[in-house]
Structure 1
Amino acid sequence: MLNIGFVSLRAQFGFNPEEAGRLYEVSKSILAPLGRVTSYESMIMLKKEAKEANELLKTSQIDLLVMQIGTFPSGELLPLLIKDLAAPVLLWALPEPPFDGGALQFNSLCGVHLMASLLKRDNHKFDYVHLNPEGDVTSLTRYIRAFEVSCDLKKMRVGLVGSHTPGFDAMAVDAVSLKAVIGPEVVYIGLDDVFQGSNNVPQAQRDKLTAEIGSQFDNVNELPGEKIEKFANTYASLEREAKAKNVASLSVRCWPEFIEGHGQAACCSVSKLTDDGIVTGCEGDVLGTITSSIMREFAGSAPFLADIVHADYTTNETTLWHCGAAPFSLVAPGESVLLGEEFGIGGLNVEFPLKSGVVTLARLGYLDGKYRMLVTTGEALKIGPIVKGTVAQVRTDSSVKTLMDKLIYDGWEHHLTMIYTDVAAELEQLCKILNIECVRL
């Protein structure tokens, strides 16, 4: 949870400090559910009060300072208020009440303009919102949620099992710039460690996992027991590595070594790990895995990392597919979740059509030394098992032709993440906080 500092500034003379003060109290109640809020007891008008508030905020070790402009303040308050505070500032302008020929009530928006001009010259990070705390506060809550995710990214550790799949060089990760710009730290995990670990799973854990797998996949009884046991062992080894390395997500080089050296594709383990809370991406796609982790943070549900394998420009539909690593919680109602053997020696991949619903598609990418994110929305349609593997059919809100042109001509990596809710605005806000380009379609 964020540590949020909250203050309101006011003029010494004129305007309507009584109404601004009332809105300050209302605003405290709006912020309370969004983090641990430290607020100065009254609106700040004097230099002495700004100094006192500064000491309070430093003691509280705030992550973010929300600075509401109650009535047009003196710019002299700002340097005293933010002295030795590294926390970014969210300026909050109050809308002016309707004009009726009387005096200006707040002049809050101009006050935000003043503070922004000073913060910019001081190279202090800031953003702003313009809203009434008694009205629609979506832009405020969205900003704070995105800011919280940006803070989580700075603490995130993602495990790279092996490296990216051979030939998928666009998915190679620059660990140094990733840490500096986006935040996550890449932790390297050896493929051999995973393979060897799968040979040393305690029988009790193997039995527990085998029982779980039996309840989660509909055709387990039709497959040889040794295949299910290998599934359980591989899952247990990957999970153990994630916990030992203290990583919240995994990006797995799932072929060729898993198939050729281990004798079983990683798909089934990737599916179950993601459903069990360790977001896992395939083919060593670290940025794709991070995209999935970000979208899970916003949506609170499991993501699907996939290829676009078909586009119909007439119906404006696109088919998202992967060989069988989608989390099984995304299955369409009434459809079976199967373990298949189409990919790799001995399988096992996962097979089912995904459910329908509102979706967001996104991709964190890296090109020419810069990070960027592509974002679009749409609707996953009701389909049956139209192809082996895990598959969704999406009618995008933007033109599918435009989407494909953008992906192909601009050199985006060939995976997209899909999540079942509209988090496009949150992703745009996050890009702004991270200071990376957002390509919104």
Structure 2
Amino acid sequence: MKLGILPLGRPTFDVPFAEENLTAMLAALDASGHEVVGPRELLFDEAATRDGIATLKAADVDQVMILQVTFTDASMTVAIGAAFDQPLSIWSIPEPRLGDRLRLNSFCGLNLASHALGLNNRAFGWLYADPAGDVAGDLAALLAGERMSGKLVLGAVPEATLDGERIARAVNGQRIARIGEHPVGFDTCAYDKAALRGLSGVEVDELQLDDLFDLARAAPAEAAADLRKQADAELTGLDAVDPEELDRSLRLKVGLDTLKEQGGYSAFAIRCWPETFTEYGGAVCGPASMMGEARVPCACEADIYGALTQMVLAAAADAPVFLTDLVDMDVEDNTGVVWHCGQAPLSMIDPEVQAEATIHTNRRQPLLYQFPLKAGGVTLMRISQAHGRPHMVLSYAEMLKRPMSFTGTSGVLRFERGADEVLDDIIASGLEHHMALVYGDHRVALQGAAGAMGLPLLEI
């Protein structure tokens, strides 16, 4: 057949490593026996991708394959899906768990893509495999249409319980501050205020990033100094980061505290990048960790349903909650890795390590917390809008005592079911890229909460 390829990437990730992996992907495709047409270099922006689409259209290809070499948002994936009637597939790649930066974050790109394509009812096949390994058989199956994403059937709405009704009442009437709009291509973070209110009784106030930035800049020096003392007590290496950027980062925490007091907010959903770095000059990740530890959830990328998920999970567990990405699945090791830049609540730290101060791996600014997550059972949950159907996704896993996989805050977990089955379900369900995590087994309480909120249940 004539196979059209579109290699997607972002320059904020490790471009030389991405190009090394792209070379291996192209070699595997060239060895497949099919005619491979299209760009053979990373497409970093919309203009380059649209030029690639035009090239494939002119070549009249039989199939289209997106090479998800690094993380990207889903905007171009949706455009590619809409541009072609031919079969569509995505090849995403793992990366070594070496304790260094997350160099590609390719799986998260696949995760966003599966959600967005599901919302658009666009069928696709997928593969998550190392191009340097033996991938010939999997590629052949993918191109033969044998690795389609499918679509999971939701379970029934569970029976409401007294504990579930307590959880639903706990969030009803609460307020979330959305600070800035979600980034383009993050369909996982879209929401409708009226639908959210009808589901949970939670109200959303839509604020601007400058509302936070102005409060942070005007924060009293004493308040920022007090937070510096708190960070000094919690972290090593604070003196190694840029002091002015650190001060700006800590002032974001003061700004969030002020907004909380003024607006009576129980949670925040913040457009954390790029503007906190490019316009303000400091990361909100460390402040989000502090807020989370204080039981005030902060969701990245203005993810309102992520904030609601945290609120529900915190009400069920009466404990701090971590909104995280699933960034890797290793079928042979039967494990996955949860990670987010550096914002897990400090109480989740492995007790045998010391938390470190660090900088954002892509944007190079502080403050981020860095530590591996402690061992123990964890409940993962998401109030999902995948495939346009509100429901609750629920899972349970054991966090293992493992070295830090990637810089920031991360942990290695083993699900109750096999990693291959969980991986299949994540893609088939169109699950959003953020799930909330808390220690302990809270599935029974959450099943009752799903019933009280009228949500069908999907356990993965």
Identity across the alignment (%):
25
Residue pairs, 1:290-329, within 5 angstroms: 290-329=308-347
Deviations, residues 239-271 of structure 1 (Å, cap 9, x unaligned): 211221111011111011111111122111111
1:202 aligns with 2:220: yes
Q: Aligned letter for 1:284?
A: A
The corresponding residue for 2:305 is 287
What residue in structure 2 maps to residue 3 of structure 1?
none
- Does residue 431 of structure 2 align to residue 412 of structure 1? yes
- Tell me the alpha carbon deviations over residues 274-293 of structure 1, each in whole angstroms, 9 at most, x when there is no partner: 11221111111111121112
Q: Does 1:401 align with 2:420?
A: yes
**Deviations 1:177-234, CA, capped at 9 Å, x for gaps:** 0101222111112100111111111122222222112112122133333233212211
Secondary structure at the aligned position of 1:422 is classed as coil
2:379 alignment partner in structure 1? 360
Deviations 1:406-439 (A, max 9, x none): 2212211111111100011111111111111110
**1:97 equivalent in structure 2:** none
- Judging changes above 3 Å, is the alpha-carbon distance between structure 1 residues 266 and 322 closer, same or farther for their aligned structure 2 residues? same
Structure 2 residue aligned with 1:339: 357
Give 3-state SS (helix, strand or coil) of 1:315's partner. Answer: coil
- 1:63 corresponds to: none
Q: CA deviation at 1:345?
A: 4.4
Larger-gyration structure (1/2):
1
Structure 2 counterparts to residues 108-127 of structure 1, below 5 A: none
CA distance in structure 2 between the aligned counterparts of 1:411 and 1:333, rounded to whole angstroms: 35
- Distance in 2, Cα, partners of 1:186 & 1:170: 17
Q: Which of the residues 325, 348, 353 maps onto 1:330?
A: 348
Distance in 2 of aligned mates of 1:370 and 1:185: 20
Q: Give the one of 248, 264, 267 matched to 1:246.
A: 264
Partner residue in 2 for 1:234: 252
- Matched to 1:376, the amino acid is S
- Name 1:102's counterpart in structure 2: none
Q: 1:381 aligns with which of 400, 412, 421?
A: 400
Q: 1:350 aligns with which of 366, 369, 380?
A: 369
Name the counterpart of 2:232.
214
Deviations 1:31-90 (A, max 9, x none): xxxxxxxxxxxxxxxxxxxxxxxxxxxxxxxxxxxxxxxxxxxxxxxxxxxxxxxxxxxx
Stretches of structure 2 lacking an aligned partner (at least 5 in a row): 1-157
* Kept after mapping to 1: 8 A contact 2:330/2:419: yes
Q: Is the contact between residue 177 and residue 205 of structure 2 (CA under 8 Å) also seen in structure 1?
A: yes
RMSD: 1.9
Q: Decide whether aligned partners of structure 1 residues 291 and 197 sit closer, same or farther in structure 2, where only a CA change above 3 A counts.
A: same
- Mapped to 1, the partners of 2:362 and 2:369 lie a distance apart of 10
Is the contact made by 2:171 and 2:311 (CA closer than 8 Å) also made in structure 1? Answer: no
Distance apart, 1:369 and its partner CA: 4.4
- 8 Å contact from structure 2 (residues 337, 405) kept in 1: no
Deviation, 1:165, is 2.3
CA contact (8 A) 1:332 1:356 kept: yes
Distance (Å, rounded) in 2 between the aligned partners of 1:184 and 1:429: 19
8 Å CA contact 2:164, 2:448 repeated in 1? yes
Whether the 8 Å contact between 2:246 and 2:282 is mirrored in structure 1 is no
Whose relative contact order is higher, 1 or 2, with alpha carbons under 8 Å and at least 6 apart?
2
Query: Which whole-Å CA distance do the structure 2 matches of 1:240 and 1:303 have between them?
Result: 21
Q: Is the 8 A contact 2:335 2:412 kept in 1?
A: yes
Aligned length: 303
Tell whether 2:291 aligns with 1:273. Answer: yes
Counterparts of 2:303 and 2:297 in 1: how far apart (Å)? 12
User: What is the identity, as a one-letter code, of the residue corresponding to 2:385?
Assistant: Y
Q: Which residue of 2 aligns with 1:436?
A: 455
Note if 1:167 corresponds to 2:167. no
TM-score computed with the length of structure 1 as normaliser? 0.66
Task: For 1:149 and 1:440, locate their aligned partners in 2 and report how far apart those are by CA, in whole Å.
Answer: 19
Contact map agreement 1:317 1:400 (CA 8 A) in 2: yes
Give the SS at the match of 1:195: helix
